[in-house]
Structure 1
């Protein structure tokens, strides 16, 4: 339990440092650099010798180790994950000034958040700013503290809310308040001031909301972990920890943490884009690929797609498959779907089970109730783009896509240990 609590504290620290994908890859890059990895510039020619490397493209990161003795036929062991989570994104011309004196912020729904879970929370803004710097531009990460709130209507003014349920219009009812009686103040001026520039120097921005309430361990036996963005920073953190601790093996171990999964992955830094294939191709070039070497390497490679899944919900037990009943703290999930919303097949399932056995970790099967279609992951996208055997796994959650999700303390460490065994070819 002590090891699980130490790991979950580190996951909490990672979440706090990662309010957006841009911050997540910056924090991952910081940890990789401390461990001796070298950041590479995609515009430069790569000369790769045995050692650790990583690249950052927008809100995505790919990191890997070249082992001693790697050849053009050396296969890859890849952990895939995603850095983004459902939230609200700052719109252009975001200042809303009502006739009643409130100052609000115009935001757009990103992904599929449980809208009601964002109400009555102290929220911050964070993300990437592109800044004019003479004739050039540069980027800066920006992050506020608690600055805004989406207030709910009191039951005195909505008498049917508890009987009939809460209905939120995503345009009308989700604009946060951040001031009253201050029509002179603009949110973009405020953000520019945080990085020490004038508003006219702020040329572009990707800014999203985050819940400022820190993660917490709770429960009579410290068995629960509540936090924002566990879908899917739990997998990013587990994969990063696995890569940093994996012993050298017969494969090239890799972590690919993509942005934009929650909105379909179709971007230059998403799993449907070229980023992973670009890196694999450049590694192959450095290793001296010729003829059929690339196809041979891909044929022997495996991708473990890490993304959070569902625990049986105690108040909605009928929403789950009657025979497969995973619970938080029961071990990470092997996610299976007949129509390939998850990419797991029999060979991939065997690889995962062997990794769990080598790590001394229990695993649970997840399959959807036939009447309730499941979501999807980067797994099928990666399998389709590259033809690499792909397995979908992740920790079980309750309240997925809430501003504050619920996990089991033991599952995060178990997932990381199984991923480490996978990278170290104990599977």
Structure 2
């Protein structure tokens, strides 16, 4: 399958972190990988392995002996609206769903869109069931301009009051019963849920030459897809290629399944031959923190550094920040440049404007926790953290090729 078509399939199958992990596991299983269950003894047999904890995935090629690690790190979560534990709400004859904002979402981008619902239901016995209501179910209606004549001079949204989706008419109630029926789970078995809304518009190319690609959750499933594709291509290397796709990056990574938790350290320590052996292996290892970066916005060029702008279809961008909001240093930049050269992939450099502080990634967390040299990169996108983002059609494939070269690079 062509890279962009395969990415489209992956995005469509992955409305939540749990679905993204399930889709990735299906691909790993088809490629001959086997599961490493956290609660069972660690397998030291050579071959492909994966490990899942909720919305986080680790996958790697197990070698007979420890070797330098090449880690590709991304994240599975995206800004969205998450359903509250008691979801039933409503007023004036409308049935609504109580939600809270997850991550740094562009709130206005969720207005007046046909929204689906997806996530997981947890049963009393500890098992979970995935659910995906992939049809128009919810909508966050905007107030008509006739009732807010100043709206075009500045839209102000109260997330408690103005972001509640409608899902029908009548008295509030019955939402979880509806979701449980969709999942084929008895409502009396449901003890908890993690449910989010998502935009139903399918991924699409646009532009006269169809050189642009629009989709939800490009941040950061485009990177997860690239890391997974690269891992499947890197099995014959002399290194130990590792993919980690964390949950909870958009809310700070401080969780049992986030980059600030111990999960990656535990796995890499085992791959390095244990705690006493890991210092030498970690010192010879590298990590690639991959998250989307800002494309230069033609309507807001004053928000960008005039020299370090990134453009779609110019290849993935190296992300640099003097204050270590990105983990890139000169040796890491050299390793990335070598990977791009070996893969014959164009590349760019992104640095934020001095007056516009940049965000951060899992890169500095990995570097701090593990002492592994880490470099930050990502493909350029417009409308980052919107319900629907925009990138170039060539950049996802460029990222796969460069990431593959990075994972197999023994230098």
Q: Same fold (TM over 0.5)?
A: yes
**C-alpha distance 41-290 of structure 1, shift in aligned 2 (>3 A):** closer
- Asked whether the equivalents of residues 110 and 140 of structure 2 are also in contact (C-alpha less than 8 Å), the reply is yes
Residue of 78, 90, 93 corresponding to 2:86:
93
Partner of 1:159: 149
Residue of 152, 161, 172 corresponding to 1:172:
161
Matched, 1:412 2:396: yes
Partner of 2:129: 140
User: Which moves more between the two structures, 379-388 or 211-220?
Assistant: 211-220
How far apart are the structure 2 equivalents of 1:324 and 1:277?
33
How far apart are the structure 2 equivalents of 1:18 and 1:290?
35
- Asked whether the equivalents of residues 358 and 426 of structure 1 are also in contact (C-alpha less than 8 Å), the reply is no
- Asked whether the equivalents of residues 269 and 275 of structure 2 are also in contact (C-alpha less than 8 Å), the reply is no
- Asked whether the equivalents of residues 335 and 344 of structure 1 are also in contact (C-alpha less than 8 Å), the reply is yes
Q: If the length of structure 2 is used for normalisation, what is the TM-score?
A: 0.97
User: Which moves more between the two structures, 38-47 or 296-305?
Assistant: 38-47
Partner of 1:241: 229
**C-alpha distance 360-189 of structure 1, shift in aligned 2 (>3 A):** same
CA apart distance, 1:197: 2.7
Unaligned 5+ runs, structure 2: none
Partner of 2:189: 201
Partner of 1:360: 344
Residue of 118, 138, 141 corresponding to 1:126:
118
Matched ranges for 1:20-419 at <5 A: 20-67=16-63, 70-72=64-66, 74-98=67-91, 100-132=92-124, 136-145=125-134, 146-162=136-152, 164-181=153-170, 183=171, 185-285=173-273, 289=274, 291=276, 293-419=277-403
How far apart are the structure 2 equivalents of 1:13 and 1:250?
31
**3-state SS of paired residue (1:120):** coil
How far apart are the structure 1 equivalents of 2:407 and 2:192?
39
**3-state SS of paired residue (1:28):** helix
CA apart distance, 1:227: 0.3
- Asked whether the equivalents of residues 307 and 393 of structure 1 are also in contact (C-alpha less than 8 Å), the reply is yes
How far apart are the structure 2 equivalents of 1:128 and 1:75?
37
How far apart are the structure 2 equivalents of 1:220 and 1:193?
44
User: Which moves more between the two structures, 122-131 or 355-364?
Assistant: 122-131
CA apart distance, 1:424: 1.5
**3-state SS of paired residue (2:156):** coil
CA apart distance, 1:213: 1.1
How far apart are the structure 2 equivalents of 1:406 and 1:329?
11
Unaligned 5+ runs, structure 1: none
RMSD (Å), alpha carbons: 1.3
- Asked whether the equivalents of residues 216 and 389 of structure 2 are also in contact (C-alpha less than 8 Å), the reply is yes
- Asked whether the equivalents of residues 96 and 172 of structure 2 are also in contact (C-alpha less than 8 Å), the reply is no
CA apart distance, 1:374: 0.2
**What count of residue pairs does the alignment treat as equivalent?**
410
- Asked whether the equivalents of residues 333 and 396 of structure 1 are also in contact (C-alpha less than 8 Å), the reply is yes
How far apart are the structure 2 equivalents of 1:393 and 1:354?
14
CA apart distance, 1:199: 2.0
**3-state SS of paired residue (1:142):** strand
CA deviation string 1:299-339 (max 9, x = no partner): 00000000000110010011000111211111101000000
CA apart distance, 1:151: 0.5
CA apart distance, 1:184: 6.6
Runs of 4+ in 1 over 6 A off after TM superposition: none
CA apart distance, 1:97: 2.6
How far apart are the structure 2 equivalents of 1:234 and 1:418?
14
CA deviation string 1:42-94 (max 9, x = no partner): 00002222110000001000000024xx424x110000000000001110211
**3-state SS of paired residue (1:156):** helix
How far apart are the structure 2 equivalents of 1:186 and 1:122?
20
